[in-house]
Amino acid sequence: MKFSLACGDVMPGCTSRFTSTSREQLMAEVGAHARADHGVVDLDPQVVRTIDSKIVSVPA
Ligand SMILES: [Zn+2]
């Protein structure tokens, strides 16, 4: 099982997609991307919940 997230589901207009084998790793990658490309310094709990709700699991 893998986990995938389209950043555009959270940040409209962004075309970046992330896939990882763990939710924790995926969240770390998305967090790093948000900081680097969206200027998000700190992911507040509401943003984390929104991201978490957009993560989809895909068969490995
Ligand atoms: Zn993005």
Give residue-wise pLDDT tens across range 1-59.
999 999 999 999 999 999 999 999 999 999 999 999 999 988 889 989 999 999 999 99
Q: How remote is the CA of residue 36 from the centroid of ligand 1, in Å? A: 9
Number of Cβ within 10 Å of residue 15's Cβ equals 7
* Sequence-ordered list of residues with C-beta below 8 angstroms from that of 33, at least 6 positions apart, any chain: 7, 16, 18
Distance (Å, rounded) from C-alpha 37 to C-alpha 18? 14
Residue in the block written with tokens 């389209």: 6
Q: How remote is the CA of residue 38 from the centroid of ligand 1, in Å? A: 6
How is residue 13 written in tokens?
Answer: 């207009």
Question: Which pLDDT does position 6 carry in this prediction?
Answer: 98
| Count of domains observed in the chain | 1
Q: How remote is the CA of residue 60 from the centroid of ligand 1, in Å? A: 23
Q: How remote is the CA of residue 25 from the centroid of ligand 1, in Å? A: 16
Beta bridge partners of residue 3, listed in sequence order: 20, 57
Identify the domain containing residue 34 by its residue range: 2-58
Residues with CB under 5 A from ligand 1 (ion): 7, 11, 14, 16
